[in-house]
Amino acid sequence: MSAPAASRVEASGITGRIGEAVLSARNVAKSYGNIQALKGVNFEVHRGQVTTLFGENGAGKSTLMRILSGVNKPTSGEIILDGEPVVFHSASEARDRGISIIHQELSLAPNLSVRDNIFMGRELRTATGVDFAEEERQTRALMAELEEDIDPLTPVEELRLGQQQIVEIARALSVNSRILIMDEPTSALSASEVEVLFKVIRDLKARGVSIVYISHHLEEALQITDHAVVLRDGTMTAYAERKDIDLEWIVRNMVGENFDLGSPPTGHAIGDVALAIQGVSVPDAARPDRMVVDGLSLDVRAGEIVCIYGLMGAGRTELLECVAGRVRASGGQILLEGQDVSHLSIAERIARGLVLVPEDRQRDGLVQTMSVGQNLSIASIAAFTKGLFTSRSREQALVERSIRNVQIKTDGGRAPIGSLSGGNQQKVVIGKMLATEPSVVLLDEPSRGIDIGAKGEVFRLLAEGARSGLAVIYSTSEVGECLSIAHRIIVMSRGRISAEFGSNVTKEEIMAASGEAVVH
């Protein structure tokens, strides 16, 4: 370690040799009723290094991290911190010992400001009360470190999803932890925001901070990791140092074989235009004089899968939300099978066969207080309701059919939605929309926060839908996904279509059309 790095370690109060085990799980098991989430896992976190944890949804990654951060207790096994066994009774106890976690699903209070979210529960107090000025100053410093121009007094609900993720990261950084667990920290970040986060991680490493990093963005994670651990079905199946692993090694140990997301479905006829977007413009909510979607036109045919690719801020989300009725257009028309639906409500568009799987499944796609079955049936309630009466048998039949068709791994329709992994929750959102028997389905970042296996299952569902005549549009900021099952690739930049490709395009061509720098 260089002298400057050593001095930063000493200044931070973190002592010890870089690379030594500072936090360990020894033979840790965790059961929820009859479900064994962890089966005797051994895991080590190294001082001043990044340990990346790979695994499919439901493999036990988040369960292990919740145990290490004090959120949950293990059923058996022990946690070792600085060579001594510890028992955490709460996340605050773990935080007091220097362990913090950035959860996969955001835990922000949307009605509070950025400043108040960062200091919630640990306000800076003086003899006269909370020192809001100092909290604001520290918040501005954190935003500057993360290179994000966000006013500390802005309500979180006014931020886009990627900015909310930045606030979550800033809150964890503000604690000055010596062990920082990052569970899918980049799932909603743009490429430039990821680069900034990686700079921060490298600086934390230089100060001796230990990082546990969980990500389904496999190639991205390889850029930052020092050690790789793979969990599968609650068991650690592989461990290696960075120099000994590549993408194929990760996939092989995660799913048992080299995995392919698929190819554009063939063998079926592409039908007539199902959705016509004609000259649609959408104003920026913060600056109505600026268009986030600017006079965009696009046709999608029955049986066709169209991918919309673009960087964060390209206008992809605003376009899909406008088509679905969540955001109003300032100009243009939306035609569904030749009929103008621009004036219809969300519910009326769903009834006509136009549905959206939103980017943020927790906020917009699921009702957390409802069961799996209730979430699956809620969008189709009119199909088994007459007056004040609901046919429970028809509803149950729909739920069972959806669970079977979408292949949701659950104990049944009565299971709490929170008991499912991220990938299975995403399949519930998709299943809910498909249960309405749509003719057009829009999906905004459908693979956000799910593993490669679940991603393959989602894409399989889309391919099957296309073969049966469904028109599909999916939006993504992952260039690799564009080359999987799309018949056509539309590239958006600054609210407009900058290029259109068939399936025989390269990653470099797609990235260049979006205005993204291509790194060789």
Q: Which amino acid is at 507?
A: K
d(CA 453, CA 57): 8
Backbone phi, psi, residue 422, to 5°: -60, -40
Classify strands 385-386 and 389-390 as parallel, antiparallel or unpaired: antiparallel
Q: Tell me the C-alpha distance between 299 and 275, whole Å.
A: 6
What is the pLDDT, as a whole number, of residue 272? Answer: 96
pTM across the whole model: 0.62
Please report, in tens digits, the pLDDT of each residue of the chain (520 residues total): 333 333 333 334 455 566 678 899 999 999 887 778 899 999 999 999 999 998 876 788 888 999 999 999 999 999 999 999 999 999 889 988 999 888 766 778 889 999 999 999 889 999 999 999 999 999 999 998 888 889 999 999 888 777 888 888 888 888 878 999 988 888 767 777 788 888 888 888 888 889 999 987 788 888 999 999 999 888 998 999 999 988 888 878 887 655 566 788 888 999 999 999 999 999 987 777 889 999 999 999 999 999 999 876 789 999 999 999 999 999 999 999 999 999 999 999 999 999 998 887 777 788 888 999 898 988 888 777 777 777 888 888 888 888 888 888 888 888 898 888 777 888 888 888 888 899 999 999 888 767 777 778 888 888 999 999 999 999 988 777 888 889 999 999 889 999 999 988 887 788 788 765 443 3
Domains in the chain with CATH codes: 1-98+177-259 (3.40.50.300), 111-176 (no CATH), 272-353+438-520 (3.40.50.300), 364-437 (no CATH)
Tokens 């028309």 locate to 333
On whether the CB atoms of residues 406 and 430 are closer than 8 A, the answer is: yes
Q: What is the pLDDT of residue 259?
A: 58
Residue pointed to by tokens 């909290």 = 135
CA distance 103 to 98: 16
* 3-state class percentages of the chain: helix first, strand second, coil last, to nearest 5: 35, 25, 40
Q: CA–CA separation, 218 vs 54, rounded Å?
A: 8
Torsion angle of the four alpha carbons 158, 160, 161, 167, in this order, in degrees rounded to the nearest 10: -70
Please enumerate in sequence order all residues whose Cβ is within 8 A of that of 125, keeping only pairs 6 or more positions apart, or say none. 131
Q: CA angle, 327 as apex, 323 and 332 as ends, to 5°?
A: 55
* pLDDT (0 to 100) of residue 3: 35
Write down the pLDDT at residue 15: 53
Cβ atoms of 222 and 445 within 8 Å: the answer is no
Q: What is the pLDDT of residue 2?
A: 34
* Predicted pLDDT of residue 99: 92
Strands 210-214 and 331-336: unpaired
Other C-beta atoms closer than 10 Å to the C-beta of 373 total 22
Can you give the pLDDT at residue 115? 95
pLDDT for the residue numbered 16 = 59
